[in-house]
Amino acid sequence: MNKHQLHQALLLFFLFLSLLTTSCIDNEALRGRITLNITDAPVDNTNIEKVNIAIRQIDILPANSQNWTVLKSFEEPRVINLLEYTQGEVFDLTEQYLSSSEYKSIRIELNVALEDNGLTVFPENTIEFTNGNIETLFIEGQNNYAQIDADFQVDAGQITFLTIDFDLRKSLIETPQGYRLKPFIRLLQTRSCGAIEGYFRDFANKPRVTVFAYKAGTFNASEITSDIPFFNAETSDRIRTDVTGKFFTAFLPEGNYDLIFVDLLSNGEVNEVLGKLENISVKALQTNQIQSVFTADLVPIN
Protein backbone atom coordinates (compact mmCIF):
# COMPACT_ATOMS: atom_id res chain seq x y z
CA MET A 1 0.00 0.00 0.00
CA ASN A 2 1.50 3.34 -1.07
CA LYS A 3 1.26 6.58 0.92
CA HIS A 4 -1.74 7.80 -1.08
CA GLN A 5 -3.67 4.58 -0.48
CA LEU A 6 -2.72 4.63 3.21
CA HIS A 7 -3.92 8.22 3.48
CA GLN A 8 -7.24 7.32 1.84
CA ALA A 9 -7.68 4.32 4.14
CA LEU A 10 -7.03 6.42 7.22
CA LEU A 11 -9.54 9.05 6.03
CA LEU A 12 -12.19 6.37 5.53
CA PHE A 13 -11.45 4.88 8.96
CA PHE A 14 -11.75 8.23 10.76
CA LEU A 15 -14.88 9.08 8.78
CA PHE A 16 -16.42 5.76 9.86
CA LEU A 17 -15.36 6.37 13.46
CA SER A 18 -16.85 9.87 13.37
CA LEU A 19 -20.15 8.58 12.00
CA LEU A 20 -20.24 5.79 14.61
CA THR A 21 -19.55 8.25 17.44
CA THR A 22 -22.15 10.69 16.14
CA SER A 23 -24.67 7.87 15.85
CA CYS A 24 -23.99 6.80 19.45
CA ILE A 25 -24.32 10.37 20.68
CA ASP A 26 -27.55 10.87 18.76
CA ASN A 27 -28.88 7.55 20.07
CA GLU A 28 -27.89 8.50 23.63
CA ALA A 29 -29.64 11.85 23.25
CA LEU A 30 -32.88 10.05 22.42
CA ARG A 31 -32.87 8.13 25.68
CA GLY A 32 -33.47 8.92 29.32
CA ARG A 33 -32.60 7.14 32.52
CA ILE A 34 -34.79 5.48 35.08
CA THR A 35 -33.80 4.96 38.72
CA LEU A 36 -35.92 2.39 40.53
CA ASN A 37 -36.03 1.84 44.31
CA ILE A 38 -38.18 -0.32 46.55
CA THR A 39 -39.54 0.49 50.01
CA ASP A 40 -42.10 -0.92 52.42
CA ALA A 41 -44.45 -0.19 55.30
CA PRO A 42 -44.09 -2.36 58.45
CA VAL A 43 -46.42 -5.25 59.19
CA ASP A 44 -48.86 -4.97 62.10
CA ASN A 45 -47.89 -8.30 63.67
CA THR A 46 -44.87 -7.64 65.92
CA ASN A 47 -44.08 -11.38 66.00
CA ILE A 48 -42.85 -11.14 62.38
CA GLU A 49 -39.18 -10.20 62.18
CA LYS A 50 -38.25 -10.61 58.50
CA VAL A 51 -40.07 -10.97 55.20
CA ASN A 52 -37.70 -11.99 52.42
CA ILE A 53 -38.65 -11.83 48.77
CA ALA A 54 -36.51 -13.05 45.87
CA ILE A 55 -36.66 -10.90 42.72
CA ARG A 56 -35.72 -12.54 39.45
CA GLN A 57 -36.57 -9.82 36.93
CA ILE A 58 -38.17 -6.41 36.49
CA ASP A 59 -40.22 -5.58 33.36
CA ILE A 60 -41.92 -2.46 32.04
CA LEU A 61 -44.71 -2.02 29.51
CA PRO A 62 -44.63 0.83 26.96
CA ALA A 63 -47.89 2.76 26.59
CA ASN A 64 -48.24 1.87 22.89
CA SER A 65 -47.39 -1.82 23.20
CA GLN A 66 -48.65 -5.10 24.59
CA ASN A 67 -45.13 -6.52 24.84
CA TRP A 68 -43.19 -6.28 28.08
CA THR A 69 -39.62 -4.97 28.01
CA VAL A 70 -37.00 -6.32 30.39
CA LEU A 71 -35.67 -3.50 32.55
CA LYS A 72 -33.37 -5.61 34.73
CA SER A 73 -32.70 -9.34 34.91
CA PHE A 74 -30.69 -10.72 37.83
CA GLU A 75 -28.31 -13.64 37.23
CA GLU A 76 -29.16 -14.88 40.71
CA PRO A 77 -32.45 -13.91 42.38
CA ARG A 78 -31.97 -10.76 44.46
CA VAL A 79 -33.19 -11.56 47.97
CA ILE A 80 -34.43 -8.57 49.99
CA ASN A 81 -35.76 -8.40 53.54
CA LEU A 82 -38.45 -5.80 52.93
CA LEU A 83 -38.79 -4.98 56.63
CA GLU A 84 -35.32 -3.40 56.51
CA TYR A 85 -36.66 -0.72 54.18
CA THR A 86 -39.30 1.19 56.12
CA GLN A 87 -39.45 4.78 57.43
CA GLY A 88 -38.29 6.15 54.09
CA GLU A 89 -35.38 3.72 53.67
CA VAL A 90 -35.04 2.27 50.16
CA PHE A 91 -33.24 -0.54 48.38
CA ASP A 92 -31.74 0.46 45.03
CA LEU A 93 -33.07 -2.03 42.50
CA THR A 94 -31.57 -0.68 39.29
CA GLU A 95 -30.69 2.29 37.12
CA GLN A 96 -31.09 1.85 33.37
CA TYR A 97 -31.26 3.79 30.11
CA LEU A 98 -34.62 3.68 28.33
CA SER A 99 -36.07 5.03 25.12
CA SER A 100 -37.85 8.33 25.55
CA SER A 101 -41.49 7.29 25.76
CA GLU A 102 -44.57 6.87 27.92
CA TYR A 103 -44.91 3.69 29.95
CA LYS A 104 -48.03 2.27 31.55
CA SER A 105 -47.05 -0.59 33.82
CA ILE A 106 -44.23 -2.20 35.75
CA ARG A 107 -43.95 -5.66 37.22
CA ILE A 108 -41.61 -7.63 39.45
CA GLU A 109 -41.03 -11.31 38.70
CA LEU A 110 -40.59 -13.17 41.96
CA ASN A 111 -38.71 -16.42 42.37
CA VAL A 112 -41.89 -18.16 43.39
CA ALA A 113 -42.11 -20.85 46.03
CA LEU A 114 -44.06 -23.82 44.67
CA GLU A 115 -45.58 -26.78 46.50
CA ASP A 116 -45.28 -30.17 44.78
CA ASN A 117 -46.05 -33.39 46.66
CA GLY A 118 -45.08 -31.82 49.94
CA LEU A 119 -41.73 -30.53 48.62
CA THR A 120 -40.82 -26.88 48.36
CA VAL A 121 -39.01 -25.52 45.31
CA PHE A 122 -37.37 -22.05 45.28
CA PRO A 123 -37.42 -21.40 49.04
CA GLU A 124 -35.86 -17.90 48.87
CA ASN A 125 -39.20 -16.28 49.72
CA THR A 126 -39.44 -16.70 53.49
CA ILE A 127 -41.01 -15.24 56.58
CA GLU A 128 -39.08 -15.26 59.86
CA PHE A 129 -40.56 -14.89 63.32
CA THR A 130 -39.16 -13.50 66.56
CA ASN A 131 -39.23 -17.01 68.10
CA GLY A 132 -36.73 -18.20 65.46
CA ASN A 133 -39.18 -20.08 63.24
CA ILE A 134 -38.74 -19.71 59.47
CA GLU A 135 -41.46 -20.57 56.98
CA THR A 136 -41.53 -20.57 53.20
CA LEU A 137 -43.68 -17.72 51.95
CA PHE A 138 -45.91 -19.02 49.21
CA ILE A 139 -47.58 -16.79 46.65
CA GLU A 140 -51.36 -16.62 46.63
CA GLY A 141 -52.67 -18.23 43.45
CA GLN A 142 -49.15 -19.30 42.37
CA ASN A 143 -48.75 -16.12 40.34
CA ASN A 144 -45.10 -15.13 40.17
CA TYR A 145 -45.62 -11.45 39.23
CA ALA A 146 -46.27 -8.39 41.36
CA GLN A 147 -47.68 -5.84 38.92
CA ILE A 148 -48.86 -2.24 39.14
CA ASP A 149 -50.51 -0.26 36.34
CA ALA A 150 -49.30 3.34 36.61
CA ASP A 151 -48.35 5.80 33.89
CA PHE A 152 -44.90 7.35 33.87
CA GLN A 153 -42.83 9.26 31.34
CA VAL A 154 -39.16 8.88 30.44
CA ASP A 155 -37.75 12.00 28.74
CA ALA A 156 -34.59 12.23 26.66
CA GLY A 157 -31.61 13.40 28.64
CA GLN A 158 -33.56 13.30 31.93
CA ILE A 159 -33.68 10.96 34.94
CA THR A 160 -37.01 9.54 36.07
CA PHE A 161 -36.95 8.62 39.76
CA LEU A 162 -39.45 5.92 40.71
CA THR A 163 -40.12 4.10 43.97
CA ILE A 164 -42.04 0.85 44.35
CA ASP A 165 -43.91 0.71 47.66
CA PHE A 166 -44.34 -2.98 48.44
CA ASP A 167 -46.90 -2.70 51.22
CA LEU A 168 -46.47 -5.88 53.24
CA ARG A 169 -49.25 -5.14 55.73
CA LYS A 170 -51.69 -5.35 52.80
CA SER A 171 -49.81 -8.11 50.98
CA LEU A 172 -49.46 -10.71 53.75
CA ILE A 173 -52.55 -12.89 54.00
CA GLU A 174 -52.93 -15.24 56.96
CA THR A 175 -54.53 -18.57 56.05
CA PRO A 176 -55.03 -21.86 57.93
CA GLN A 177 -51.95 -23.14 56.08
CA GLY A 178 -49.84 -20.15 57.13
CA TYR A 179 -49.05 -16.80 55.56
CA ARG A 180 -49.39 -16.23 51.83
CA LEU A 181 -48.17 -13.30 49.77
CA LYS A 182 -50.74 -11.48 47.63
CA PRO A 183 -48.59 -8.60 46.37
CA PHE A 184 -50.02 -5.11 46.79
CA ILE A 185 -47.71 -2.45 45.40
CA ARG A 186 -47.91 1.16 44.29
CA LEU A 187 -45.58 3.05 41.98
CA LEU A 188 -44.54 6.55 43.03
CA GLN A 189 -42.80 9.45 41.37
CA THR A 190 -40.13 9.81 44.04
CA ARG A 191 -39.52 13.53 43.59
CA SER A 192 -43.22 14.32 43.81
CA CYS A 193 -43.46 12.88 47.32
CA GLY A 194 -42.88 14.19 50.81
CA ALA A 195 -43.17 12.83 54.36
CA ILE A 196 -44.58 13.43 57.84
CA GLU A 197 -42.38 12.95 60.89
CA GLY A 198 -43.47 13.14 64.50
CA TYR A 199 -43.23 11.77 68.02
CA PHE A 200 -46.03 9.97 69.83
CA ARG A 201 -45.33 10.83 73.48
CA ASP A 202 -47.56 8.22 75.16
CA PHE A 203 -45.56 5.29 73.81
CA ALA A 204 -44.57 4.05 77.29
CA ASN A 205 -48.19 3.11 78.04
CA LYS A 206 -49.07 2.20 74.45
CA PRO A 207 -45.99 0.57 72.87
CA ARG A 208 -47.74 -0.92 69.83
CA VAL A 209 -49.29 2.15 68.22
CA THR A 210 -49.33 2.30 64.43
CA VAL A 211 -49.92 5.50 62.46
CA PHE A 212 -51.94 5.26 59.22
CA ALA A 213 -51.76 8.11 56.70
CA TYR A 214 -54.93 8.78 54.69
CA LYS A 215 -55.69 11.41 52.11
CA ALA A 216 -57.62 14.03 54.04
CA GLY A 217 -61.28 13.13 54.53
CA THR A 218 -61.07 9.64 53.01
CA PHE A 219 -60.96 7.47 56.15
CA ASN A 220 -64.10 5.46 56.84
CA ALA A 221 -64.61 3.85 60.25
CA SER A 222 -65.93 0.68 58.57
CA GLU A 223 -62.32 -0.13 57.64
CA ILE A 224 -61.54 -0.88 61.27
CA THR A 225 -63.38 -4.21 61.08
CA SER A 226 -62.61 -5.11 57.44
CA ASP A 227 -60.59 -8.20 56.51
CA ILE A 228 -57.48 -6.03 56.23
CA PRO A 229 -58.05 -3.12 58.61
CA PHE A 230 -57.11 0.34 57.32
CA PHE A 231 -56.65 -1.06 53.81
CA ASN A 232 -57.13 2.32 52.10
CA ALA A 233 -54.31 4.03 53.97
CA GLU A 234 -51.63 5.44 51.68
CA THR A 235 -48.93 4.14 54.00
CA SER A 236 -48.26 3.48 57.69
CA ASP A 237 -45.55 3.33 60.32
CA ARG A 238 -45.18 1.75 63.72
CA ILE A 239 -44.00 4.14 66.42
CA ARG A 240 -40.46 3.40 67.58
CA THR A 241 -40.32 2.85 71.33
CA ASP A 242 -36.51 3.00 71.28
CA VAL A 243 -36.43 6.58 69.96
CA THR A 244 -39.05 8.40 72.03
CA GLY A 245 -42.00 7.26 69.95
CA LYS A 246 -40.80 8.47 66.57
CA PHE A 247 -42.91 7.80 63.48
CA PHE A 248 -42.15 8.62 59.85
CA THR A 249 -44.71 8.18 57.08
CA ALA A 250 -42.79 8.51 53.84
CA PHE A 251 -43.48 8.62 50.09
CA LEU A 252 -46.70 10.58 50.30
CA PRO A 253 -47.68 12.45 47.12
CA GLU A 254 -48.28 16.17 47.63
CA GLY A 255 -51.54 16.98 49.40
CA ASN A 256 -53.25 17.02 52.79
CA TYR A 257 -53.40 13.96 55.02
CA ASP A 258 -55.15 12.68 58.14
CA LEU A 259 -53.12 10.51 60.52
CA ILE A 260 -55.05 7.75 62.29
CA PHE A 261 -53.43 6.46 65.50
CA VAL A 262 -54.30 2.87 66.42
CA ASP A 263 -53.25 0.76 69.40
CA LEU A 264 -52.67 -2.81 68.21
CA LEU A 265 -52.25 -6.17 69.89
CA SER A 266 -49.03 -8.11 69.31
CA ASN A 267 -50.71 -10.23 66.62
CA GLY A 268 -51.72 -7.10 64.71
CA GLU A 269 -55.39 -7.05 65.67
CA VAL A 270 -56.95 -3.71 66.59
CA ASN A 271 -57.07 -3.03 70.32
CA GLU A 272 -58.21 0.59 70.25
CA VAL A 273 -58.48 3.44 67.75
CA LEU A 274 -57.01 6.40 69.62
CA GLY A 275 -58.05 9.17 67.23
CA LYS A 276 -56.64 11.27 64.40
CA LEU A 277 -54.75 14.41 63.43
CA GLU A 278 -56.38 16.20 60.51
CA ASN A 279 -55.24 18.10 57.42
CA ILE A 280 -51.48 17.80 57.67
CA SER A 281 -49.87 19.32 54.60
CA VAL A 282 -47.25 17.44 52.59
CA LYS A 283 -45.03 19.12 50.01
CA ALA A 284 -42.79 17.38 47.49
CA LEU A 285 -39.25 16.69 48.75
CA GLN A 286 -40.12 18.09 52.19
CA THR A 287 -40.80 16.57 55.61
CA ASN A 288 -43.57 18.10 57.73
CA GLN A 289 -42.34 17.77 61.30
CA ILE A 290 -44.80 17.34 64.16
CA GLN A 291 -42.81 17.69 67.36
CA SER A 292 -45.19 16.14 69.92
CA VAL A 293 -48.37 14.11 69.70
CA PHE A 294 -50.25 13.07 72.84
CA THR A 295 -53.37 10.92 72.96
CA ALA A 296 -55.24 13.94 74.32
CA ASP A 297 -54.37 15.90 71.14
CA LEU A 298 -56.22 13.47 68.88
CA VAL A 299 -59.66 14.04 67.38
CA PRO A 300 -62.05 11.15 68.20
CA ILE A 301 -63.12 8.82 65.37
CA ASN A 302 -66.88 8.87 64.90
Of 256, 252, 222, nearest to 234 (Cα)? 252
Q: How far is CA 40 from CA 168, 195, 237, 249, in A?
A: 7, 14, 10, 11
Whether residue 210 is predicted with pLDDT greater than 80 in this model: the reply is: yes
Question: Where along the chain do its domains lie?
Answer: 31-183, 194-297
Check residue 2 and give its pLDDT.
52
Instruction: Report the number of secondary-structure helices (H) and strands (E) in the chain.
Output: 2, 22
Confidence of residue 143 (pLDDT cuts 50, 70, 90): confident
**DSSP string over 104-128:** EEEEEEE---EEETTEEE-TTSEEE
Check residue 24 and give its pLDDT.
45
Check residue 16 and give its pLDDT.
52
Correct CATH for 194-297 of 2.60.40.1120, 3.40.630.30, 2.60.40.1180, 3.40.50.300 = 2.60.40.1120
Check residue 287 and give its pLDDT.
97
**pLDDT digit string, tens, across residues 29-75:** 678 999 999 999 999 999 999 999 999 999 999 999 999 999 999 99
